Structures are given as C-alpha cells and as structure tokens.
Amino acid sequence: MPRVGVFICHCGTNIEGVVDVEKALDEMKNYPSVSYATDYKYMCSEPGQNKVKDAIGKNRLARVVVACCSPRMHENTFRRCIEEADLNPYLIEIANIREHCSWVHPDNKEEATKKAIELIKASVAKVIKNEPLFPRYVPLTKRVLIIGGGIAGIQSALDTASAGYETILLEREPSIGGRMAQLDKTFPTLDCSACILTPKMVDIAQNKNIKLLTYSELEEVSGFIGNFNVKIRKKARYVNEEKCTGCGVCYTKCPKKLASEFDLGIGIRKAIYVPFPQAVPNIPVIDKENCIYFIKGKCKVCEKFCPANAIDFEQEDVLIEEKVGAIIVATGFDTFDPTVFQEYGYGRYKDVITSLQFERLINASGPTGGEVKRPSDGKHPKRVAFIQCVGSRDDTVGRPYCSKVCCMYTAKHTILLKEHEPDSKSYVFYIDIRAPGKGYEEFVRRAQEEYGATYIRGKVAKIYERGGKLVLKAEDTLIGKQVEIEVDLVVLAVGIEPKKDAKDLARKLNISYDTYGFYNEAHPKLRPVETLTDGIYLAGVCQGVKDIPDAVAQGSAAAAKVCGLFSSDELITDPLTSVVDKDLCVGCCACISACPFNAIEEEVLEERTGERIVAKVNETLCKGCGVCVATCPSKAVSLKGWTDEQVLREVEILVGSRK
C-alpha cells in the first residue's frame, strides 16, 4: 500500500467557516490508509505548497490528497507542486470541500463536516489506485491554411506570413477582396474601400510566404492540431495562369453577357471575366455553365484574340493535398434576401433595391459608373427612402438579432447620395439607431445635420407602386400619426447572415455553429477567435456580425494564436485520455461512432490467426470525456486517471459499503 498524505486547506474562512477542519484533520490522522495529515490556511500559497513538498520528502509519501477548492481552480497548481517534489503529477487527488461542501451547506455545519470527511476518504481510496501517467510529444507542421480571402483572412495571412510561417490563403471566388471590394466608401471616415483594400491584396500576391489559391475550395480535412491533412480543389479557370498577362482583351471580345454576381444582378459580366478591375490575381476565369463554347461547341473568340495564347479549354480541376498545423476560418457572410417580404415588393418593383446593390450603384467602378440611376428608367432619383431592419430584429423570418452595421452604412448611404446627387433628399425609416463605435454617433448626426437626411422613427408597413413612383406607408411613432411618402427609389437595409453553405464547411472542419450558422467561438467573452476544435481558429463575420475594424482585429488575433501554437516545436498531449485493451476489444467499433471528437479509429492487427480489427484512440484528439468507456460492451476501453478500479473505490466510500 502506498503511503498517502492528506493536506486540508482552510481557504481563509471559506472552508473553515462551515467545516470543522480540526475534527476532519483529527479523523484523517487516525485513518488507517493515511500516513500523514496536516492543515494550512491557504494550501495553494507558496508556504502552503512548500508544506506539501517538504512532507512528501520527510514522510516518503507516494500519494497526495489535497482537500480544498474545486480541481478547476488548483488541480494544475498542485500537480506542478508535487512534480517539483519528484512525484509523478498524476498521483494526486483533489477533494472538493469548498464548492461541493462548505459553499453549498453554509447552514448545516455538522453535516457539512461529516460530508467533507467522507469526500476526503473517497479521494484517499481513489488515489491509492492511481498510476503514474506520462504525456506524449507530437510533432507539428508549422504551416497555416486560411480559408477565405476577405479582409479578415487577408489580415491573418499577412500577419502569419510576416511572422515567418508558410501561409496558404484559400479563396473560392476568382479574386480575393471579399465584401470590401464591393463597397464604395467605408464609415465613419469615408475612406475609399478599394483604396485601402487593394494595397493589402497586392501585398498578399507579392509575399513570398503566402501561397495564394483562388477559385479553389476546401474539399476535405482530416487529422488534428499540428497535423491537418487538407485536400483542396483548384477549379479549372480554363486560362493558363503562367501565360496570362491580364490584358483583358478576352473579356472585351467575349459575346456572352450575363448578370454579374459581384454587382448583385444590376451589372453585366461576360462568360470569361474577372469579377472587378482590381482583381488579385488579375487572371480571368471562364464560367463553364454559360460559355458558348462549352454549351454549343462554337465561338472560342477569347482564344482567337488572346495575345499570350493563354486560353486552355482542356484544363481540368486539380486536387492539391497540403499538410498544415493550423486552420483559420474567415469565410464571411451573405445578405438577407428580402423577396420573402412581398409587402415591400423586392423582386416585383425594379426600384426597390438592397443596400449592397445601392453600394454597387454608387461605386465609381460599378455598373453605372457611380451615377445613382433608377433601375427601371435610368433617371436620377430625387427622393430616396432607406428602410432599416429588413431581415433583422424580425422573429417572422427567424432573424431576431440585430445586424449591427446597417444603421451606420445607411447613414453613409445618405451622405454619399447627397454628394452624388446634390438635389436629392433622403428619408431613413428606423426603429432604433445603433452607432456604438469610435466616431459613429457623430457620423450619424452628421448625416442628419450636415447632409440633411430626414430620420423618421417607424418601420415601414407597406410599399406599392403608383404612377412610376413608390409609395411607402408607415407610422411616425414619435408623433403617433400615420405617414405616407412617395419616393423614386427605395433601399432596403438588409441584414447580415452566414453564408448559405456555412454549415457544410463547419461539418467538414468539425467545428460547431449556432442556430443561424455563425461559427461558435470557444468562449463568448474570453476566447473569441478560437473554436473548441483544437487548431482551428475564427476571424471575421463568419463568427458573428461585426464591422471592418473588428474583422481586422480578429484576423490579427487569430494569427497571433497560430503563432503562439507554432512557437514550440512539439505539442504536449494530455495523458488523461482513454486507451483500448486490444486483448479485450472485439472490434465492434461502437466507440468510434460514439466519440464526439472523432478521436478513435480502426486499427488492423496482423495476428497468427489472421487479420483483426480493433479500436485505437488518437491521444492528441481525445479529450477524456469517457463516452467510449460507457459505450464499450466488452469493457475494453478505459480512461486513464479514471479507471473502473479507481472510481469504484471512491464510490464504495461514498455509499458506505466501506468505511
């Protein structure tokens, strides 16, 4: 029987105020299994820890029980402490006589003391059965994959690259830039969005540590932190990237026109195209589904005119395999589709548009060259209504949340409209104005006071068309009267929602998401850029609605986490994992399906009698939850640190079958 030492903490008055520590100490001193017992005011303090270390040496202790606060507080503290006294750090048990005893039974001192004594005895019974455990060391690949080439992904890539790590930036559109590339100016400074974005895009292209993969998507991910295997599908552009000079003759000559996705349907692109003039890389892509050659076998005008002979209709998708140590997800967002609000007429009335479409109209490199024109007749609108909270703060469409940025971008729209159309008048219909950032409130006031936007508090009830104009009906809630207004153009401030396939990507990566599809951070307050899947980090709106400064901040934060991960050459794994006894395992693989962390895999054993399948635990992925132990019908899986032997000894004390 190993020699056990018991150390009871008073925790100031937290424990001693309820539990009679002297009585408990007395009983433990006389307890047969215990070789040494003592107490102290604050066991976790330096003198307290020294007491433990001294006692181990002087009394030749082989096991330690500390009766104190929750193990979540100081288990690691005391593990390190006994390790310094040359004892394996897993030969210790914490008896929680604070959160589980003194704090919850403050009015019942006698019973609390009895309970504390039982808890300590149970820990003693368990610790006797504890075995030394040793962590493993796993190598890691110091390369990072960043999924998403918007501003958050771009920032992450620039930061990890400048820290010296090889970075793969993966973007599924033909160019990086994301949503910022679609914007005209940004609030509250009214910086030109492309002007502040494109230098960063060029940096990406020129950075030696960054491998830029555009028009590419993540196909598959396997592995674990430090050791991910990713399969990427580089879609065929049908343009040879080495030969293309970006001259643009191909898309000038291409005869096939279609609605541009980048311009949200109000502009045109060709079947061979770059999404916008400042695209990085500036290499066009052929849209196979709409290219005349691919559909009918004729045309090939682009190939005829290309001076660099770069068109290659035979090109195929390429599957690339990469090994990375960390993944940053920065996949961005989509906007709410307001067609479902038939009372607003989006989709029926040409002059009812979304805020992002308005952004394209007002952009100098947009489809109308920055001229605000009514989609119906091309005339310049004199009166424009902006409606806030379309698809946000609305239970009827399952979007009760506030999209945070719409109040600000609408104020910006009224200012930009006034600059482009000095004769125009803006009317903003709102419920509340949210302007919480630096200079934000001042910006909204400016829109009203300097630029003359009229703000009316009341959510628009209905829009209909009359004589070529749009009529809006609402209540001005600040005066309590119904109002009606006739305008030339209506802009719906649509809400922000996760990308339509966000959930599919999450499943590939094994990260979790909330009811809307925004990815879950590890802790809502304190761990905003990590996920509960080790090695995968988040940045930008895919984690939750935010403005550009916050997205950039998160991009850098995620990069910092990756750099922290890569600062050591090996990963230390927690030894409190499960292990399969191959001799008992029958290969039913129930544990493999049950494991919530995908940490168990099949192993083929070559034996004299032939091949046999058994289960094998990946200790790096295993979180020690114990579900596999409970699932196994043959009792072949056990959890190190909580074997049946260890736990049952504790239970015996607690149910009183052993004293």
By the criterion CB under 8 A, which residues form the site for another protein? Answer: 341-343, 348, 389, 393-396, 431, 457-462, 464-466, 471, 473-477, 480-482
Which residue, 137 or 464, has its beta carbon nearer to another protein?
464
Integer Cα distance of 385 and 442 in angstroms: 22
Which residue, 261 or 476, has its beta carbon nearer to another protein?
476
Q: Give the chain's length.
A: 659
Axis-axis angle for helices 71-84, 46-58 (nearest 10): 50
One-character DSSP codes across 487-501: ESEEEEEEPEEE-TT
Which residue, 304 or 462, has its beta carbon nearer to another protein?
462
Which residue, 308 or 431, has its beta carbon nearer to another protein?
431
Which residue, 78 or 336, has its beta carbon nearer to another protein?
336
Q: How far is the CB of 426 from another protein (least distance, A)?
A: 19
User: If we measure between CA atoms, which residue out of 174, 165, 244, 144 comes closest to residue 207?
Assistant: 165
One-character DSSP codes across 53-102: HHHHHHTT-SEEEEEES-HHHHHHHHHHHHHHTTS-TTSEEEEE-IIIII
Q: How far is the CB of 427 from another protein (least distance, A)?
A: 14
Which residue, 395 or 606, has its beta carbon nearer to another protein?
395
Q: How far is the CB of 395 from another protein (least distance, A)?
A: 5
Which residue, 344 or 518, has its beta carbon nearer to another protein?
344
Which residue, 347 or 596, has its beta carbon nearer to another protein?
347
User: If we measure between CA atoms, which residue out of 53, 57, 59, 54 comes closest to residue 29?
Assistant: 59
Maximum Cα interatomic distance, the chain, rounded to a whole number of Å: 98
Q: How far is the CB of 484 from another protein (least distance, A)?
A: 10
Q: How far is the CB of 604 from another protein (least distance, A)?
A: 56
Relative to beta strand 454-457, strand 425-430 is parallel
The C-alpha angle 212, 499, 394, rounded to 5 degrees, equals: 150
Q: How far is the CB of 496 from another protein (least distance, A)?
A: 17
Which residues does residue 221 pair with via DSSP β-bridges, in sequence order? 230
Q: How far is the CB of 551 from another protein (least distance, A)?
A: 27
Q: How far is the CB of 430 from another protein (least distance, A)?
A: 9
CA distances from residue 582 to 387, 586, 587, 594, 616 in whole angstroms, order as listed: 65, 8, 9, 18, 8
The owner of tokens 């191909």 is 250
Structure tokens that stand for 593 in this block: 């399906």
Which residue, 461 or 605, has its beta carbon nearer to another protein?
461
The C-alpha angle 625, 626, 628, rounded to 5 degrees, equals: 120
Residues contacting residue 208 through CB under 8 Å, at least 6 positions apart:
none
- DSSP letter at 181 equals G
One-character DSSP codes across 208-262: TTEEEE-SEEEEEEEEETTEEEEEEEE---SB-TTT-----HHHHH---EEE-TT
Q: How far is the CB of 460 from another protein (least distance, A)?
A: 7
Which residue, 461 or 648, has its beta carbon nearer to another protein?
461
Which residues does residue 390 pair with via DSSP β-bridges, in sequence order? 494
Integer Cα distance of 236 and 107 in angstroms: 73
Would you say 25 and 8 are in contact if contact means Cβ atoms under 8 Å apart? Answer: yes
Would you say 558 and 167 are in contact if contact means Cβ atoms under 8 Å apart? Answer: no
Which residue, 482 or 634, has its beta carbon nearer to another protein?
482
Q: How far is the CB of 396 from another protein (least distance, A)?
A: 6
Query: H or E segment at 170?
Result: strand 166-170
Q: How far is the CB of 351 from another protein (least distance, A)?
A: 13
DSSP 3-state of 524? coil
Q: How far is the CB of 345 from another protein (least distance, A)?
A: 8
Which residue, 365 or 477, has its beta carbon nearer to another protein?
477
User: If we measure between CA atoms, which residue out of 63, 12, 68 comes closest to residue 36?
Assistant: 63
Which residue, 379 or 462, has its beta carbon nearer to another protein?
462
Q: Kindly give the residue spans of alpha helices, DSSP state H, lying in 249-392.
A: 249-253, 292-296, 301-305, 355-362
Integer Cα distance of 406 and 622 in angstroms: 43
Which residue, 485 or 590, has its beta carbon nearer to another protein?
485
Integer Cα distance of 534 and 554 in angstroms: 17
Q: How far is the CB of 294 from another protein (least distance, A)?
A: 37
Q: How far is the CB of 455 from another protein (least distance, A)?
A: 13
